[in-house]
C-alpha cells in the first residue's frame, strides 16, 4: 500500500515539523528554546474565552452552517468593509478552520493540472506545497533583500504565462516581514489588468502587526476594479493570539466562495462552533489591547535585530510587520563546527544550532530562500535574550 501520487509531490510543513521536533526534544529532557513557529506568546483575551464558554453552556456545540454562522459571517463582512475598505457581504464570506484551509480550499477549488501560481520568494512554506498537491505548478519568483523582498511589477509581468491562474501576495509577509505599499500594489494592479485570467490570493493575516505609520494596503482595496479577481484571506490567530482556535476567513467573488464552501462541506464540515462564538466576540469586542501587543513586538524586534546584526556573518532584514527576523548568513556556510563538521547549508546551520545551542529556528531554504534562517520573536524578552546569547556563542565557535 502507498500514499497517492499527490502526496508524493509534497513534503510535510517544515515550520510545524521543526516545532514538533523541538517539543519532542524538550519532552526527552533537552533544554530547547523554540523560536521556530509563528505564534504570539500572549494569552487569548479573556472576553473571547468567556464568550466560548458561554456558547458551550448555551448548547452551541452542534454543527453550524458549512460556511460559518450567520452572525460571524456578518461580523467578518463588516470587518472587511469597515476596517479594510474591501466591500463584502455575509454571503461573500466563508469562515474556515484557520487561514490555512481558506488557502487550501481556494487553490483546490480552482487549479487544474499544469496551472501555474506565481509565488514571490521567500514565501510561507505551505503555499507551493498546496499548489503542488492540487496538481498545479508553483512559479517561484525570487526577491532580494535590497528590493525589500517585494515582487516588482516587472517581475510579475515576466512571470505570467497563459497557464497562470493565481498570484499569491502576503503582506506583511512571512518570513520576511516585508510590506507592500499602496504604490507597490497599484503597480502590480496595472500589470494584472493586462492579464484578466490571473486571480490574486491576498493573505493579510499579519495586517494588525506593523511597525511603521503607513496604513495597511491590500490589493482589493487599492484596485477595487479587480476585486472580483481577488480572494482576501485573514483570521484571528496572530491578531488575537488564537492559533489553537483555528478560525480563518476569506472574501472574494461569489462563485469562488461557493466552490470553497462546497469543498468545506466534504472536509471540515464546518469550523468549530465554539471557536466561531469566540471569534465573534473577538471581532465585536475591544481591540485596544492590540496597541500594547504591537508595542511589545516592536521592543522585541529592536532587541532581536540589534543582537543579530551584531553577530559576524548575519545580515538581518528589519521586518516592517509580522514577528519574524529573517536573516541571510552566506558567510557562515562552509564554516566548521567544533566537532569538525562542515556547515554545508542552512539546514546544517539550524541543525547545529539546535544541537549545540538548544535553539530551534527555521532554515531560509524552507521558505524558498537560501543560506539563512527565520527567527520568530513572538516570545518573552527573557527567552529571546537567552536564545540570542546562545546563538551568538554557537556562531562564535564556528571556525
96 binds ligand GLU per the rule CB under 6 A: no
Least distance from ligand GLU to the Cβ atom of residue 119, Å: 15
103 binds ligand GLU per the rule CB under 6 A: no
Stretch that binds ligand GLU, among 71-79, 121-129, 275-283, 297-305 (CB under 6 A): 121-129
In the bound state with ligand GLU, the residue whose beta carbon lies nearer, of 13 and 309, is 13
Least distance from ligand GLU to the Cβ atom of residue 8, Å: 21
Query: Is residue 242 helix, strand or coil?
Result: coil
23 binds ligand GLU per the rule CB under 6 A: no
Among 16, 24, 82, 161, the residue binding ligand GLU under the rule CB under 6 A is: 16
Least distance from ligand GLU to the Cβ atom of residue 373, Å: 13
Cα-only R_g, the chain? 21
User: Which residues ranging from 125 to 144 are in contact with ligand GLU (CB under 6 A)?
Assistant: 125-126
- Looking at the chain, which runs of residues are DSSP E strands? 33-34, 93-96, 116-121, 137-142, 164-170, 199-203, 230-235, 248-251, 315-317, 324-328, 359-360, 362-363, 372-376
- Looking at 164-226, which runs of residues are DSSP E strands? 164-170, 199-203
CA distance 357 to 342: 17
Stretch that binds ligand GLU, among 10-18, 70-78, 278-286, 386-394 (CB under 6 A): 10-18
Place of cell 562542515: 342
Place of cell 456545540: 61
Locate 204 and state its grid cell. 493579510
Stretch that binds ligand GLU, among 11-19, 60-68, 223-231, 264-272 (CB under 6 A): 11-19
What lies within 8 Å, CB to CB, of 103 at 6+ separation is 126, 127, 130, 201, 203, 233
Number of amino acids touching ligand GLU (CB under 6 A): 9
Main-chain phi, psi angles of 316, to 5 degrees: -105, 140
Stretch that binds ligand GLU, among 12-20, 251-259, 276-284, 289-297 (CB under 6 A): 12-20
174 binds ligand GLU per the rule CB under 6 A: yes
C-alpha distances in angstroms, 86 versus 78, 292, 351, 364? 9, 26, 43, 33
Nearest to 377 by CA among 41, 100, 149: 41
Least distance from ligand GLU to the Cβ atom of residue 383, Å: 16
- Cα of first residue to Cα of last residue in the chain, in angstroms, is 47
Stretch that binds ligand GLU, among 118-126, 218-226, 307-315, 339-347 (CB under 6 A): 118-126
Stretch that binds ligand GLU, among 8-16, 179-187, 207-215, 228-236 (CB under 6 A): 8-16
User: Which residues ranging from 35 to 54 are in contact with ligand GLU (CB under 6 A)?
Assistant: 37-38
13 binds ligand GLU per the rule CB under 6 A: yes
Residues that bind ligand GLU (CB under 6 A): 13, 15-16, 37-38, 124-126, 174
Amino acid at each position: 500500500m502507498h500514499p497517492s501520487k499527490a502526496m508524493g509531490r509534497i513534503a510535510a510543513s517544515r515550520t510545524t515539523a521543526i516545532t514538533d521536533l523541538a517539543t519532542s526534544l524538550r519532552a526527552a529532557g533537552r533544554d530547547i528554546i523554540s523560536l521556530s513557529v509563528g505564534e504570539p506568546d500572549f494569552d487569548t483575551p479573556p472576553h473571547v474565552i468567556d464568550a466560548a464558554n458561554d456558547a458551550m453552556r448555551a448548547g452551541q456545540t452542534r454543527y453550524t452552517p458549512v460556511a460559518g454562522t450567520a452572525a460571524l459571517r456578518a461580523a467578518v463582512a463588516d470587518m472587511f468593509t469597515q476596517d479594510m475598505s474591501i466591500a463584502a457581504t455575509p454571503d461573500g464570506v466563508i469562515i474556515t478552520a484557520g487561514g490555512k484551509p481558506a488557502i487550501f480550499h481556494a487553490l483546490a477549488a480552482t487549479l487544474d493540472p499544469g496551472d501555474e501560481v506565481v509565488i514571490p520568494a521567500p514565501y510561507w512554506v505551505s503555499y507551493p506545497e498546496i499548489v503542488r498537491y492540487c496538481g498545479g505548478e508553483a512559479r517561484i519568483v525570487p526577491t532580494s533583500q535590497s528590493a525589500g523582498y517585494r515582487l516588482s511589477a516587472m517581475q510579475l509581468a515576466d512571470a505570467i504565462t497563459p497557464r497562470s491562474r493565481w498570484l499569491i501576495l502576503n503582506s506583511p509577509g512571512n518570513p520576511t516581514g516585508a510590506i507592500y505599499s499602496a504604490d507597490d500594489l497599484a503597480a502590480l494592479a496595472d500589470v494584472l489588468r493586462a492579464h484578466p485570467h490571473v486571480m490574486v490570493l491576498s493573505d493579510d493575516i499579519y495586517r494588525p502587526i506593523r511597525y511603521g505609520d503607513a496604513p495597511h494596503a491590500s490589493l482589493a482595496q487599492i484596485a477595487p476594479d479587480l476585486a472580483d479577481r481577488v480572494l482576501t484571506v485573514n483570521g484571528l490567530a496572530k491578531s488575537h493570539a488564537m492559533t489553537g482556535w483555528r478560525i480563518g476567513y476569506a472574501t472574494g467573488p461569489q462563485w469562488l466562495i461557493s466552490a470553497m464552501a462546497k469543498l468545506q462541506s466534504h472536509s471540515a464540515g464546518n469550523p468549530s462552533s465554539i471557536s466561531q462564538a469566540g471569534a465573534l466576540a473577538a471581532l465585536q469586542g475591544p481591540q485596544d489591547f492590540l496597541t500594547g501587543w504591537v508595542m511589545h513586538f516592536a521592543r522585541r524586534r529592536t532587541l532581536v535585530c540589534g543582537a543579530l546584526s551584531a553577530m559576524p556573518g548575519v545580515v538581518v532584514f528589519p521586518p516592517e510587520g509580522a514577528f519574524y527576523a529573517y536573516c541571510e548568513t552566506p558567510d557562515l556556510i562552509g564554516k566548521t563546527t567544533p566537532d569538525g563538521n562542515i556547515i554545508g547549508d542552512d539546514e546544517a546551520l539550524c541543525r547545529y544550532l539546535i544541537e549545540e545551542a538548544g535553539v530551534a529556528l527555521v532554515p531560509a531554504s524552507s521558505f524558498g530562500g537560501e543560506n539563512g534562517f527565520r527567527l520568530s520573536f513572538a516570545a518573552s524578552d527573557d527567552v529571546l535574550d537567552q536564545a540570542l546569547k546562545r546563538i551568538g556563542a554557537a556562531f562564535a565557535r564556528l571556525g
